[in-house]
Amino acid sequence: FYEPLLPYIPERDAIGQILLMSDYLQEHFLRRPKGIWLAERVWDPSLPRLLRPLGIEYALLDDAHFLNACVRPDQIKGYFITEREGEPLAVFPIRQELRYLIPFREPGEVLDLFRSFPSQEGLCLTYGDDGEKFGIWPGTREWVYEKGWLRRFLRFLKEKQDLIEVLPLGDCLKRFPPEGRIYLPPASYQELTEWSLMPDDQRAFVQFIEELKGKGEWSRYRTFLRGGSWDGFLRKYEEANLMHKKMIQVSRRLRQAPHREALRELWRGQCNCAYWHGLFGGLYMNHLRHAVYRHLLTAESFLQHEVEVRVEDVDCDGYEEWLYNSPLYNLHIKPHWGGAVYELDLLPPRVNLTSVLTRQKEAYHEKIAASVPVDEGGRVKSIHETFRVKQKDLFRHLLYDRFPRFSFYERLLREGTGWEEMWRQTFVALHEPFHYLIAGWRKEKGKVELKMVAKGEEFEAQKIYRLSDDPPQMEVSLLLHSSLSALLGWEMNFNLLSPEDPRRYLVIGGKRVAAGHFGEWKGIKTLFLVDEAQGWRGELSCSEPFSLWLYPVETVNLTEEGAQKTYQGSCLTLVRELKGGRIEWSLTLMFSFPNRRDCEG
């Protein structure tokens, strides 16, 4: 119902979403569906076992799925039958040529494609695609409607009724036999299998395809060549994996304590758009991630009535995370990775404050200098053929982070380091991050304390989190012994959703500072984070004065309109000098949820 990727959500939720959509269609259109459009055509061989008992008889897939099963291009037509555990499902292959012709080419070229097949009664070619190509993609509104493509296409179909019949898929099942039985591997459309690869692998994959085409061997070897699968995005983007595993955790908790309203919120949080990135913004759009977390946290709020602590490997990386959940906020920590906070949720406003995306290399970054809006003939190009940039100086912002944008972790930096080196990631670190072990934790009367220790060749560290729900606050204390002379930097990354929104800002030295501001302040002991729009405020205070380095975390990424700079969050680094010996430092972050007008600090 909410466009999830069915193979990547718990089966219980997949069944619930399908039944919700079927019930909706029955109520409003008096028919239950017999076919399904799989979001992003993401396929798994187990789907027939899931779909057929729910009354689904057929699904639309891409021709790439069939090529991956070694079906020759000239055999990709009509429909095939697949099954799992004896549950059959008809699968229709969407021809890639039709996706690229409609609506980007003149109607006559569609007829040319049909004529490329041997003439036969019942030759069925399937077309299915996103409606956004008919007015939302750049240039398509003018091309499809104002320049008359749609009118020409419909007139063409009417005039060629003796050659081309437009047929619903259900009628095709009734009138024509299947092309045969088939077993498809996990797959999606070809472009997505490229995007899910790591940047260097993606470039090599595309280059290899071009080499085969240049040698005239692409059609010969195409069926044996495939890219990655959707799972690759969970490896490629740490934040996608963390969000996905958050969704899994919420689903498991709801399985133990079902709640109808919470279930709907969970399903809303399973919308696929924010979990990956291809040509469009997707994961890079902080408002999409914010929306997913808002729904997941709303679902969680129905279940969270007291303080609880869990220790488990949530993100499936082989290391256990330490999870603090309460009615007012959640704090999730990676002890082995700097004792860092990877998720800080404020439950009343439904905000994940630390959802900040890492600046990382993308295969398309090497094309930043290119921009092609339309071709010389005025025909709109498919978005797969174009590369636009929205700002001329984007190349200056191609900066890449060394590590994920977690919070409350320490670095030992070379003396003389400044905020600009941190922004550009050119700084020299003497040690980062500290690898902590849990020394113990305890829970007493609603208060929780976590103690961690780390030891290296030139340092020993003890880090303690003290958490309470009433009032909602966290205290972090660090005791460090080191023989080094260095700068001790305590880094935090917070997503205020906008770099310039006057309702979202910091208060430093008694003055408002935009979230997108660059700069340094000295002798600071207290600062505020304020979001009037969502009604929360955080007061961060330290035991000792510190220097503050502030800069926005901005990625360079593709969207429908082209490559652009996107605000992901604000990086705050609290800095003190370490002159070889012992340093004690503690900070307190206290949250309040006032009325919007009372947020000013």
Which amino acids are annotated catalytic?
A: 40, 130
Contact 67, 223 (CB under 8 A): yes
- What single-letter amino acid sits at 7? P
Neighbours of 220 (CB within 10 A): 10
DSSP 105: S
Question: Beta strand 35-37 with 58-62: parallel, antiparallel or unpaired?
Answer: parallel
- Give the distance, in angstroms, between the CA of residue 593 and the centroid of all CA atoms in the same chain: 28
Q: Which residue has 């990775």 as its token pair?
A: 337
| Cα–Cα distance for residue pair 274/286, rounded to 1 Å | 9
d(CA 405, CA 233): 17
Q: How many other C-beta atoms can be found within 10 angstroms of the C-beta atom of residue 489?
A: 23
Nearest alpha-carbon partner for 13 in 276, 227, 244, 180? 244
Cβ proximity of 371 and 400 under 8 Å: no
Q: With contact defined as beta carbons under 8 Å apart, do 39 and 4 qualify?
A: yes
Query: What is the full DSSP assignment across 124-153?
Result: --B----GGGGTTSTTHHIIIIIT-HHHHH
DSSP per-residue codes, 400-467: --SS---BSEEEEE-TT--HHHHHHT-PPEEE-S---EEEEEEEETTEEEEEEEEE-SSEEEEEEEEE
Among residues 511, 555, 549, the alpha carbon closest in space to that of 530 is found at 511
Query: If we measure between CA atoms, which residue out of 322, 319, 326 comes closest to residue 345?
Result: 326
Return the amino acid letter for 104.
F
Closest CA to 89 of 53, 65, 126: 53
User: Angle formed by the axes of helices 11-29 and 238-256, to 10°?
Assistant: 80
Helix (H) or strand (E) holding 481: strand 472-494
The rounded distance, in Å, linking the Cα atoms of 98 and 301 is 46
SS3 sequence of 236-287: HCHHHHHHHHHHHHHHHHHHHCCCHHHHHHHHHCCCHHHHCCCCCCHHHCHH
Name the residue among 487, 541, 548, 500 with its Cα closest to residue 523.
548
Omega into 33 within 30° of 0, i.e. cis? no
Question: What letter does residue 355 receive in the DSSP assignment?
Answer: -
Q: How many CB atoms lie within 10 A of CB 425?
A: 12
Cα–Cα distance between 43 and 94 in angstroms, integer? 13
Q: Is the peptide bond prior to 502 cis by the omega test (within 30 degrees of 0)?
A: no
SS3 call for 320: coil
